[in-house]
């Protein structure tokens, strides 16, 4: 079965510092990975998908199949980045796609 | 676009009663909807997948008779927690997809259920 691991429950950095949120996955097939973000009192929203190789709000994430990782990085954290971040793996299960989420990392960016 | 709403946002019910949670896609037709459960400070766990017009597919360990899912129209899915108990207290989140296989999911704001 597939699994997503986010080893850090909490991560606290100062504004302007680099930030890296770790995500490791376990899946026998070809993975499709995503980062979702949940700001305080808001709904879960898609931040990044590995297939797009894009930078959103200064965040990037690279899929490393050798290390089975998909870490989220930003060179200079901002206070507005404070949120809960979830790494997710999408797999095809039966007739539907399914998302398996990690437990999330709460990022706090201090002024 | 692709807005999903849930109602109610917060509900308190007494142990033994049933409570219904609605999930609506406001500006698109959702062929597939998903229901997740989130315990405090934990991840989202998929409970079931519902395709419009057919029976929901439940994940292993989720009681079908306890968590009744109905997806009667392309814009509405409901989750009914029957004979609720305090351990059912949780945050329930739905997501909706335009396609039949759930390739892209848009999430609702969630419903907090408290069973007393």
Partner B contacted by A96 (CB < 8 A): yes
Q: Nearest chain B Cα to A9, which residue? A: B41
Cα-Cα-Cα-Cα dihedral of B81, B86, B91, B95, to 10°? -20
Alpha-carbon gap, residue A32 to B102, rounded angstroms: 14
A43:B44 CB<8 A: no
Residue A67, SS3?
coil
Pick from A92, A94, A101: CB nearest B43: A101
Backbone angles phi, psi at A79, to 5 degrees: -60, -35
User: What does the alpha-carbon distance between residue A5 and residue A21 come to, in Å, rounded to a whole number?
Assistant: 11
Would you give per-residue pLDDT tens digits along chain B (116 residues)? 789 999 999 999 999 999 999 999 999 999 899 999 998 878 899 999 988 888 899 999 999 999 999 988 999 999 999 999 999 999 999 999 988 777 889 999 999 999 99
A18-77 pLDDT, tens digit per residue, is 999 999 999 988 889 999 999 988 899 999 988 887 888 999 998 999 999 999 999 999
**CB contacts, 8 Å: A105 with chain B:** none
Are the Cβ atoms of B42 and A103 closer than 8 angstroms?
yes
Q: Does A45 touch chain B (CB under 8 A)?
A: yes
């Amino acid at each position: 079965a597939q699994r997503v691991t986010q080893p850090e429950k909490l991560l606290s950095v100062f504004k302007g510092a680099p930030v890296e949120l770790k995500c490791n996955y376990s899946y026998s097939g070809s993975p499709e990975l995503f980062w979702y973000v949940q700001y305080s009192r808001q709904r879960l929203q898609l931040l990044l998908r590995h297939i797009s190789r894009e930078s959103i709000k200064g965040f990037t994430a690279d899929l490393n199949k050798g290390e089975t990782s998909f870490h989220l990085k930003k060179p200079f954290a901002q206070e507005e980045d404070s949120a809960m971040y979830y790494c997710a793996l999408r797999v095809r299960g039966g007739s539907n796609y399914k998302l398996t989420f990690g437990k999330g990392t709460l990022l706090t960016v201090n002024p | 676009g692709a807005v999903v709403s849930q109602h109610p946002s917060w509900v308190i019910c007494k142990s033994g009663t049933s409570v219904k949670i609605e999930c609506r896609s406001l500006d698109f037709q959702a062929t597939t909807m998903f229901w997740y459960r989130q315990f405090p400070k934990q991840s989202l766990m998929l409970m079931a997948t519902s395709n419009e017009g057919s029976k929901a597919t439940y994940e292993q360990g989720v009681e079908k008779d306890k968590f009744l899912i109905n997806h009667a129209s392309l814009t509405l899915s409901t989750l009914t927690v029957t004979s609720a108990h305090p351990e059912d207290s949780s945050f329930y989140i739905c997501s909706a997809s335009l396609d039949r296989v759930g390739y892209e999911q848009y999430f609702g704001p969630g419903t907090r259920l408290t069973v007393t």
